[in-house]
Amino acid sequence: MAALKLVKWPKILLFGDSITQFCFSAEGCWGTLLADHFQRRADIVSRGFSGYNTRQSLALLPHLATDLKDAVGATIFLGANDASDIANTQQTVPLQEYVQNLKDIVVYFQKAGIDPILISPPALDGQSWHNSCMESGRVYLKDEKITATYARACSEAAEEIKVPCIDFHTAMINQDNWQGLLCDGLHLSRRGSELLAALLVPVLEKHLKERVPSQQLFPPWDEIDNNDPSSSFVEWCNKN
């Protein structure tokens, strides 16, 4: 009996901090929206790590070898934690190191055969995040101007190394009532998630058009021989 031809299911890896970690939540649902768009064409795999900066994320990558297998594309969404006041010694990363870390993360993915896309840190609503910190007993260690500087540096780094980039910071502040794109001044609301997904989908489609099938994998239900479905799947696999 001839061996069955197996279909390789591509993966798109979402790599980042808490905004990625909660990308399947009710508010931060941009990962869910991507998964819906790419259903039966690619798996969306979220690997978000709350509180991580680029220094920590770069050191983490070798431990994610299994996640990188069969991944064809990746989003890199880091910088909101790097862009902290220097008093936040656990998270802040100097601007030049942040840029170099982004470049090194991109190279790491590329060497693994993965096409990456950068996403700049989102805009920060300092007053709302300050209020949130007060309510939770945390110290406010963010700054809107620092965040804007890191976002701009992310876009410039992407241009320099010639990888696609979503300038999410600029896209946000160009929206009416952009503060409503955030649920607490730092993390995305549902509206913010919808904006990010809308920006990402066309970029991912273009960037990965040779690596993600344009049609859903496996035949539509009404093209399957209900009396002999196994033969229908074998025939489809041999054609694709």
User: What residues are annotated to the active site?
Assistant: 18, 184, 187
Which residue in the block uniquely carries the two structure tokens 């993390």? Answer: 187
Q: Burial of 237 by CB count in 10 Å (0-12 exposed, 13-18 middle, 19+ buried)?
A: middle
The secondary structure of residue 109, as a DSSP letter, is H
Burial pattern 153-186, b for ≥16 Cβ within 10 A else e, equals bbbebbeebebbbbbbbebbeeeeebbebbbbbb
Q: Cα(168)–Cα(152) distance, rounded to whole angstroms?
A: 10
Q: Which of 119, 96, 107, 99 is nearest to 15 (CA)?
A: 119
H or E segment and range at residue 154? helix 144-161
* Residues 6+ away with beta carbon under 8 Å from 101: 54, 55, 57, 58, 78, 82, 93
Q: Rounded CA gap, 125 and 74, in Å?
A: 27
